[in-house]
Amino acid sequence: MRRMKTFTAFFSVLVLAILVTIPAKAQEVDDYLYKIDLKLRKDKKYLNLSYYDFFGTDKFLADLGSLPRTQDKPPLSFKNSDAVTYRVVFLKDGVGMDTLVLLYINEIVDQSVADEGIFGSGQAGVAEQMVMPFNDMYNLMVNHYGQYSRLYNYLDRLQKIDPEFKFGSLLGIVPDDDISTSLGITSRDNTDYVNFMSANYLHWYPKMRKAEKGRRGETTATTISYPYRLDAGLTSISFSHQFMDFSLGGASVELNLEEPVLNILPYSGGVLGFGFRTLISVTDDKKELNNSLMVDARVLGRVILNTKSVIDKLKFVLDGDSKLNLSTAVGLDIHTTRPFGLPFLNLYAMVGSPGYSDPFIRIQDTKSNRDYAYFSFKQAEASMSFYWNTSDKLTARFRLDVGVGYYDIYKAEYNRNAKTIIRGTNKLIVNLFSPVVTLYFNFAPDGSELFGGKFRIFDSQVKAEGWIKLVEFPGGHNIRAAAAIVSGPIARGKQEWESEGGAMFQVRYRYGF
């Protein structure tokens, strides 16, 4: 009870205080009326206002009667016409506002319908005119509250009886389209991986495209499929047909002339590689391909083929005189997507049988009457891949591989003109494990890949590759120009079997990717 007294006393004082602090600040009020009116008339884009259109024939307007206006303007009476629309504009969600605030009424006359003028229907168009500016509306609220509240209640009820009802909006800017995320992103699912692989990999990847969003915004992954897929260039060919797509993924075959671990160009290795590749998703749920554990495995083999003799005649390969012989070998290339939350893993291993007979590249030893040759039988690389994009539009895409590479180098000696090795002269001279860092870059404006680059540092040598899209024909045909550069050793001396660097250029044709 005592507490009550306190309250009462307080409130009486408070009410007094309020009454005292109401000086009529007419000038300020006018200022605001002017400012608001100006703002409403001039600012076309930025106003967060809602509106509701009444047809001139609307029964409610007739019931409402005419609305009084200030400054001796005649009261606004609504024209009962099909061609006239009255747009009541109001403020809905103002900060600190609890209710709708009616602001002004525009009269929109569709002249193509209502034109009965003398000049005929020459100008078909819409004329919009502010018939009840903010001053008048404010006046209506202050002095004719009855009519104001009828209009107000009508609008308020629209949303009450139908929760899904939406008012029109006058907002000219589209903040939602401009959602900018400032930081680059990395997807935690396979999006980046699939994007990268389908743009750069020799073999085909199912492409996941987001179908148009349903009402609840569900996206479904659809694959665009072609009867067969072909990627053909001067250094490698891959092919897969629809019948090779089995339920879990797909298979394809390839031919190539490349050795990815060693710092040599295609054609320089003296081998012809062939391979069989399968892609599967090791997941229980087939629908969520993006979250599944995918395994891309290639079983590789290669046989020796004297491509080195061809190389001098090839205008597109500028070989830096690499003196390494490769051997017939088998191997494996595996890419997996994030097993147990680890990064993407890549493993490549090629194991060849030591065969020293009749190397393609021999070096004459001037001191003795012998030849010698260098061989590499085993190559391997294990790395982790990290993907990221500079923005959520996925325009500039990056991938960084960090790992370890391995190769061995054997040296063998021959008698001049003899094909077989001198017994016991084969020795292991290099057995190298070295860190390897590869940076990939893809540029894909509007989701279509335009350019790809690769920069790899391994064993103090740089290998760079790149491609650019030249032409794209409808129906899945695609032509790219591609180039590769290998540098000589940097910050260390060149070994005898290494090249001083070289470059090659080619055109690739891709279909169905």
Partner 1 sequence: MGFNMKKVFITLTFILLSTLTFSQANINQQNDPNKFNRLERIYRNLEYNTIGFNDLKTKWVIIDPVLVRTIFNSFIVKNALRIEGKKPSLEYIKDKSLDVHRGEVFIDIRKRYYDNEIDFFRFYSEANLERGEETDMFFDPIEDFVQLRHIVGEKNYELLKAKMYAYNDLTKTYYDNKLAFKFDVLLNMFEPHVRFYNFTTNDKNKYLIGISGKWGYDNIALPGWYSPTFNLGTKVTYIDRILNNKPADVFEFEGGIGLPIQQTILDKDIYTGKRLHYTGASVYFNFTGNFLRYIGPEYGKYNLSLEGALALSTLGPTEINSVHTVTTIYSQRNLLSLTATRRDFLELSSFGHLGAILGVGIYDIGQYLTDDTQVTLTEVPQADGKLRYYVNAAMTIGKDDALFAYSLEPSFMYNIKESNAYFGFKASLLINNSFGFTFKFYSGIDLGSAGLPAYRSDSYIVFSPILRINY
Partner 2 sequence: MKIKFLFFTLVSSLLLLNSSSAQNEGGATGNTELDRLKMIYESVEYNTIAFDDLKKKWLIDDPEFIREIFNRFVVRNSLRLNGRVVKIDVVKEKSKAIQDGTVTIEVRKRYYDDEIEYFAFIPDDEVGKENARVLFDPVTDGFLLKEILGEKVYDKIRERTYFQKDITKQQFTTKFGYAFDVKLNALESEVMFWNTTSDARNKYLLSLFSKWGNDRMFFPGWFANEMFIGGRMTYFKDLRNNPEDYTYRISAGLGVQSGRPYKVDTKRDQLWLSGSSFYGQIEAYPLGFIGSDFFDDIKATLEVKVTVGENKSADYGLYRTNQIFYSNRNFFNLTWKKSNLLQFEDLGNLEVSLTLSSSDIWKYELNPVAKTVTDLEKNNKPFFKKFNHILSVDVGIAKNSGLIQHNVAMVFGYGSDGYGFFGARGMAMLSGNFGFDVRVYVSAGLNEKKFPYRYDTYLVFSPILRINY
Partner 3 sequence: MKLLFTAILALSYSVLFGQTIDHLYRQIELKLIEDRNYLDIYSIQFLPSQQEAADLGSFPLADGKGNFSFRSSENISYDIVFLKDNYEFDSLVVLFIRQVSQGGDDGPVLFQEAGASGIDSTIAVRFKDIQELYFHNREAYQKLYTIVDRVLRDSEPFSLVKLITDEDVQSQIGVSSPGNTDFINYNFVNNIHTYPKYTASTTPTTSSRRRGGTAQTSSMTDFKIDFSFSHLTFFHNMFDYDFGTISAEFNTNTPMLNILPWQASTFSGGIRALVNIDGLSDLTDAFLIDAKILGRFRLDMTSFNDQLPFLFGKKSLINVGNGFVFDLKTTGIYDIPFFELYFATGSEDLENPYYINNNIAYFSFTQWQALMSFYWNSSEKRTVRFKLSLGIGGHDIVEGDYSGAVIGRRHMKDVVQPVLEMSMNIVPNNVEFLGVTGKFFDSHLTAFLWIKLLEFSNDHSFRIELQYISSTFFREPELWEQPNGQSLVQLRYRYGF
Q: Which residue pairs, CB below 8 angstroms and at least 24 apart, start in 453-457?
A: 454/200
Other Cβ atoms closer than 10 A to 83: 18
Cβ distance to partner 2 smaller for residue 139 or 325: 139
Minimum CB distance to partner 1, residue 30 (Å): 20
Q: Is 184 in the site for partner 2 (CB under 8 A)?
A: yes
Q: Is 39 in the site for partner 1 (CB under 8 A)?
A: no
Q: Which residue has the tokens 């090795």?
A: 421
Q: Is 176 in the site for partner 1 (CB under 8 A)?
A: yes
Q: How far apart are CA 273 and CA 51, in angstroms?
A: 70
Cβ distance to partner 3 smaller for residue 44 or 215: 215
Cα distances from 494 to residues 364, 465, 491, in angstroms, run 18, 22, 9
Contact 197, 234 (CB under 8 A): no
Cβ distance to partner 1 smaller for residue 212 or 312: 212
- Which residues, other chains included, contact 254 with Cβ-Cβ below 8 Å and sequence gap of 6+? 202, 203, 236, 237, 238, 239, 273, 274, 275, 276, 277, 298
Q: In angstroms, how far is CA 499 from the centroid of its own chain?
A: 38
Q: How far apart are CA 256 and CA 94, in angstroms?
A: 66
Cβ distance to partner 2 smaller for residue 338 or 510: 338
Q: How far apart are CA 106 and CA 91, in angstroms?
A: 15
Q: Is 225 in the site for partner 1 (CB under 8 A)?
A: no
Q: How far apart are CA 375 and CA 324, in angstroms?
A: 6
Cβ distance to partner 3 smaller for residue 280 or 437: 280
Give the residue, chosen from 1, 4, 42, 475, that forms a contact with partner 2 under the rule CB under 8 A. Answer: 42
H or E stretch at 32: helix 26-42
Q: Draw the binding track, 406-425, toward partner 2 (x: CB under 8 A; -: no contact).
A: --------------------
Q: How far apart are CA 294 and CA 446, in angstroms?
A: 26
- Give the residue among 467, 472, 474 at the shortest CA–CA distance from 234: 467
Contact 380, 261 (CB under 8 A): yes
Which one of partner 3, partner 1, partner 2, none interacts with residue 147, CB within 5 to 8 A by kind? none
Q: How far apart are CA 65 and CA 63, in angstroms?
A: 5
Contact 348, 331 (CB under 8 A): yes
Segment interacting with partner 2, rule: CB under 8 A, options 88-96, 235-243, 280-288, 476-484: 88-96
Q: How far apart are CA 89 and CA 511, in angstroms?
A: 56
With CB under 8 A as the rule, give the number of residues binding partner 3.
Answer: 39
Q: How far apart are CA 172 and CA 44, in angstroms?
A: 7
Which one of partner 3, partner 2, partner 1, none interacts with residue 46, CB within 5 to 8 A by kind? partner 2
Q: Given the DSSP bridges, would you call strands 501-511 and 477-487 parallel, antiparallel or unpaired?
A: antiparallel
Which one of partner 2, partner 3, partner 1, none interacts with residue 126, CB within 5 to 8 A by kind? none
The footprint of partner 2 on residues 297-356 (CB under 8 A) is: 340-343
The footprint of partner 2 on residues 18-37 (CB under 8 A) is: 18, 21-23, 25, 27-29, 31-33, 35-36
The footprint of partner 2 on residues 430-489 (CB under 8 A) is: 437
Q: Is 248 in the site for partner 3 (CB under 8 A)?
A: yes
Give the residue, chosen from 64, 108, 114, 185, that forms a contact with partner 2 under the rule CB under 8 A. Answer: 185
Please tell me what DSSP assigns to residue 233: -
Q: Is 98 in the site for partner 1 (CB under 8 A)?
A: yes
Q: Draw the binding track, 144-183, toward partner 3 (x: CB under 8 A; -: no contact).
A: -------------x-xxxxxx-------------------
Q: Site residues (CB under 8 A) for partner 3?
A: 1, 4-5, 7-8, 11, 98-99, 157, 159-164, 216, 244, 246-248, 251, 276, 278, 280-284, 286, 295, 297, 299, 301, 330, 332, 351-354
Q: Site residues (CB under 8 A) for partner 1?
A: 6-7, 10-11, 14, 18, 48, 93-99, 141, 145, 149, 153, 156, 175-177, 179-185, 187-188, 213, 217, 392
